[in-house]
Structure 1
Amino acid sequence: MNTKHTIPSDEDLTAFIDGELTAEEAARIEALITEDEGVAERLEFLARANLPFAQAFAPLLSEAPREKLERMLAAIPEQKSAKSASVPPVATRRRFLGALAASLVAGIAIDRAVIGIGIGRGFSAKDENSEWRAVVAEYISLYTPETLTGPVPGREIQAAQLASLDEKLGLSLSPEAVSLPGIDFKRALLLQYDGKPLAQIAYLDPETGPVALCIVMSDAGPNAPDLENRKGMNVVYWSNATHAFMLIGRIPADRVQELAENVRSRLSA
């Protein structure tokens, strides 16, 4: 069978990124990257998806039923092949995909820090702002209401968490500026996307589940709010001269637009 023009799977592409393929397989994918724009874009997306999942899921992981998960993973048979025989038994992206599938069955999320590996190749993004929203949507889609369980932190704790974002992002955030009416503030995290600091402020809506306001530095220039749907979630996104913003959640479009306009007006005040 001629596999020269077979579209590679995400597993093949992540193996290519991690240098796990044979020389022949790597050459085939390199040729496809040159010939097929869709393959090149998907490779870039996977290569740039380097958010520190360990930090985001640390509270949940501390309560995870590790023994049960380990038993489930142990029951998954290892598939050996010529190309994998030389790969040491370490946590690779392929092993992560299997672990993530098992963890979702167990009702928890797995540390995805193992996929935060860069790629030393020059691929140009057609729409950087669209790309970071895609990465964040993939990330937020892993959240469940259980991810954000626990009491609402007091104002002093909220302010301290937000202050940790200000220095990296050049902002001045306050609990009042980022509050969402009827939705509980849960935590603020400093993440990273494509080498840039990325703020994630997570909330829990009692009706629809996790909501997140995310901010990244951007020089793309001001853009008015717009609406899109990613991973079954509604996203309102906008930008000013220095930052790009997005509000994302499984909440109705009209409501997410209202919430986004509310917080946008306070952040620009």
Structure 2
Amino acid sequence: MPSDELLTAFIDGELNAAESDRIEKLIASDAQVAERFDFLSRSDLPFREAFEPVLAAAPSAKLTAMLAAIPSASEQRKATSGVSRRGFLSAIAACLVVGVAIDRAAIGISRSLRKPDEASEWRAVVAEYLSLYTPDTLSAPAGNRAQQVVQLSEVGSKLGLTLTPEAVALPGIDFKRAQLLNYDNKPLAQIAYLDPESGPMALCITPSTKGASAPDMENRRGMNVVYWSNATLAFMLIGHLPIDRMKALADGVRGSLAA
């Protein structure tokens, strides 16, 4: 099962020819992959048409000059034909400079118009990603313990961290899958759960150079977040449960991973 990130890159035409052919064959041959592809494709809305009046009213010359001075990861990639959703959303984010509040561009504006805070930027990206999840996103069976061990071992090895089903277990909440994503050219582990009452949750881990920090809390995109770090890794637990419940779950998994 390819990750959502890989499927989204396929939808946006950002894969090389070989990888694109591989994903296309998977969609044609695997019903589960096809269903996930259809779900993600439905978010491919006509953003250009929707924001055309806003872009027409923006001070184009000034914004173009500002954007030209901002380093962008996309400048390091080979330009592709057409306009992807990601590229277009990054462009309309500049409209926030003149007070146009576009929630969809919140992550883009933080990257484009200010020097990002590494410690919080990755949490914003995770929250944006998880906000797209529904219970149906995680409806597939989690597999038996042996399969879970393999998933967690592969993900943990990229982070130099020992992950086991017991270490990441959340009482009363179903483990669904562990997958490896990529953020800012660094591995980002996502361990996904499904709470019967509140819906999708995730424990995410990525390398960090900020050093150890005690647990803290925040709210992002309507979800509660508990985050902390050790000497080399940053952690966050995100979900829709009340913050006191999230704090208790985070304390438990934090203790298990430190053992």
Question: Aligning the two structures, in what range does the TM-score lie when normalised by the shorter sequence?
Answer: 0.5 to 0.7
Deviation at 1:53? 1.9
Q: 2:180 aligns with which of 183, 190, 207?
A: 190
Matched residues in 1 for 2:36 and 2:152: separation?
A: 27
Q: Percent identity?
A: 54
Provide closer, same or farther for how the CA distance between residues 240 and 77 of structure 1 changes in structure 2, counting only shifts above 3 A. closer
Deviation at 1:61? 5.1
Identify the residue that residue 142 of structure 1 maps to in structure 2.
132
1:219 aligns to what SS in structure 2?
A: coil
Deviation at 1:73? 6.8
Identify the residue that residue 165 of structure 1 maps to in structure 2.
155
Matched residues in 1 for 2:163 and 2:88: separation?
A: 39
1:60·1:147 contact (CA, 8 Å) conserved in 2? Answer: no
TM-score, normalised to structure 2, is: 0.63
Higher relative contact order (CA 8 A, sep 6+): 1
Deviation at 1:65? 8.4
Structure 2 unmatched ranges of 5 or more: 10-26, 61-79, 91-110
Q: Name the structure with the higher helix share.
A: 2
Identify the residue that residue 199 of structure 2 maps to in structure 1.
209
Matched pairs, number: 192
- Corresponding letter in the other structure for 2:250: A
Spell out the pairing of 1:230-245 with structure 2 (5 A cutoff). Answer: 230-245=220-235
2:180·2:187 contact (CA, 8 Å) conserved in 1? Answer: yes
Matched residues in 1 for 2:219 and 2:45: separation?
A: 33
Identify the residue that residue 19 of structure 1 maps to in structure 2.
none
Matched residues in 1 for 2:215 and 2:183: separation?
A: 21
After superposition, what is the alpha-carbon deviation per residue over 1:202-246, rounded to whole angstroms, capped at 9, x for unaligned? 000000000000000111011111111000000000000010000
Identify the residue that residue 63 of structure 1 maps to in structure 2.
35
Identify the residue that residue 75 of structure 2 maps to in structure 1.
none
Is 1:93 the counterpart of 2:86? The answer is: yes
Return 168-177 or 55-64, whichever deviates more.
55-64
1:162·1:175 contact (CA, 8 Å) conserved in 2? Answer: yes
TM-score, normalised to structure 1, is: 0.61
Matched residues in 1 for 2:45 and 2:232: separation?
A: 44
After superposition, what is the alpha-carbon deviation per residue over 1:122-168, rounded to whole angstroms, capped at 9, x for unaligned? 9743x211111111111111101110002232111111001111221
1:176 aligns to what SS in structure 2?
A: coil
RMSD over equivalenced CA pairs, Å: 3.8
